[in-house]
Amino acid sequence: MKTDGRLSFEIIRKIVFISIVLVCLLGLGVFASKSEMNYITIRFPDEEEITVLTAKTGVDEILGENHIIVLPDEEVYPSESDKIDFSKTITISKANAKKKIVAEEVESVSSEEILGKYVKIAEKIITEQVEIPYETITKDVSTEGSETKDSVIQQGVNGIKEIKYKVRYQDEVEIDRTVISEEVIKEPVNKIVQISNNITSRAGTRVGGLSPEVIASSADGKEPVVRTLNASAYCSCAKCCGKSNGVTSSGNIAREWHTVAAGSGYPMGTVIYIPAFADQPNGGWFVVEDRGGAISNNKLDVFMGSHQAAIQFGRKNLECYIYYQ
C-alpha cells in the first residue's frame, strides 16, 4: 500500500508538470500570433541569403516589397501565391526540369488492329520541331503634342517547340497521328518597340534629371572603386516594387538607363559606370537613386522600362566603376 501511495504521488506530479508545460506552450502560441512583424530569410540561387523584417505574409508581397523578381528558370518555395510558412524562409532556386506536357498514352486494341492481321498497319514515333512565333510589344512612353519615333529596344526571337507524334500507316499511307508529348526547347523572346518623343538631344536639358553626358563629366578626374556586383533588374510595377508609381527612395522618378538601386554602402547620387552597358543610350552611366530591402552591398538592381525586360536581364555579375560623389 505504501508503494501504491508513492506511485500515485508520482503520477500527480507528472500530470502537474505536463499541465504547466501545456499552459506555457499555449501562452507562447498566443504571443506569437499577436506579433505582427516577422523576420523572413530569403535564399537566392547563388546561396546568398538575406533577412528582412516585414509585416507581410504573402510570398509574392514579401518578394515585391524587396524588389525581387523570380525569373522563368527559377522556382520559389513556398510558391508565390502561398503565404509564408512556419520556417519563415523563402527559397529561390534554379528549376531543374523543363516543362513537359506528356499526353496519356492509351493502349487499346482497335478493330483496325485486329484487321491488321489482314491489312498491314505500321506505327512510328516521329519528332517534329515547330517554331513558336515571338510577340511584338509596343511601349508608348511619348507625351502628347510632339513628334514621335519608333525604336526597337529588343529584337524578337522565335522559340522552338518539339512535338512527338505516334503516326500510324496502313500500307505505307499515314492514316492518323496522335500527339504524345510537347516540349518547349527554347522560349520565344518578345520584340519590344518603344514609341518616344523625337527630341534632338541637347546636353544637360533632359527633363527630370541630368543627361548621361553631365553624369559622365561628374566622374572626371575621380578615381573609381572597381567592384564586381551581382546585378538583377526591376521595373516600376507592383510585382517589383509593391507599388507602381515609379517614385524611388530618393524621391526622383525612376528612369530607364539611368536609375540603379544599391545597398546603403552607396550613398544616393553615387555614379556607377558599367562597361557592359556602354552601348546603351546612357553610355553605361548610372546613378544610385533607389534602395531595396534585399540589396546588399555586393548586389545591384538596374531599373528597366518593362517587367519583360527586367526578367530577360536575369542575374549576372557586372564589373562596376563606382564614383562616390
Cα 123 to Cα 167: distance, rounded to the nearest angstrom: 6
Question: Per CB under 5 A, does 71 bind Zn ion?
Answer: no
Write down the least CB distance from residue 69 to Zn ion, Å.
6
Backbone phi, psi, residue 21, to 5°: -60, -45
Q: Which three cell numbers stand for residue 95?
A: 528549376
Backbone phi, psi, residue 166, to 5°: -105, 115
Instruction: Return the number of the residue (237 or 253) whose C-beta is nearest Zn ion.
Output: 237
Whether the CA torsion 31, 34, 36, 41 is positive or negative: it is positive
Question: Per CB under 5 A, does 307 bind Zn ion?
Answer: yes
Count of positions on this chain that bind Zn ion (CB under 5 A): 5
Assess whether the previous peptide bond of 72 is cis (omega < 30° from 0).
no
Question: Per CB under 5 A, does 238 bind Zn ion?
Answer: no
Write down the least CB distance from residue 167 to Zn ion, Å.
44
Q: Which of 195, 210, 216, 237 binds Zn ion (CB under 5 A)?
A: 237
Write down the least CB distance from residue 245 to Zn ion, Å.
13
Question: Per CB under 5 A, does 59 bind Zn ion?
Answer: no
Kindly indicate which of the ranges 57-65, 93-101, 228-236, 246-254 contains the residues binding Zn ion, using the contact rule CB under 5 A: 228-236
SS3 243: coil
Cα 284 to Cα 125: distance, rounded to the nearest angstrom: 51
SS3 71: coil
Q: Which of 63, 76, 92, 240 binds Zn ion (CB under 5 A)?
A: 240
Residues 182-221: x/- map of binding to Zn ion (CB under 5 A)? Answer: ----------------------------------------
Instruction: Return the number of the residue (156 or 246) whose C-beta is nearest Zn ion.
Output: 246
Cα 3 to Cα 44: distance, rounded to the nearest angstrom: 62
Kindly indicate which of the ranges 47-55, 58-66, 77-85, 234-242 contains the residues binding Zn ion, using the contact rule CB under 5 A: 234-242
Tell me the residue type at 193: V
Instruction: Return the number of the residue (178 or 249) whose C-beta is nearest Zn ion.
Output: 249
Backbone phi, psi, residue 96, to 5°: -95, -20
Write down the least CB distance from residue 256 to Zn ion, Å.
12
Kindly indicate which of the ranges 124-132, 225-233, 255-263, 304-312 contains the residues binding Zn ion, using the contact rule CB under 5 A: 304-312
Kindly indicate which of the ranges 107-115, 136-144, 198-206, 302-310 contains the residues binding Zn ion, using the contact rule CB under 5 A: 302-310
Q: Which three cell numbers stand for residue 291?
A: 534602395
Contact 232, 290 (CB under 8 A): no
Question: Per CB under 5 A, does 235 bind Zn ion?
Answer: yes
Contact 265, 297 (CB under 8 A): yes
Helix, strand, coil percentages for the chain (3-state, nearest 5): 20, 40, 40
Footprint on this chain of Zn ion (rule: CB under 5 A): 235, 237, 239-240, 307
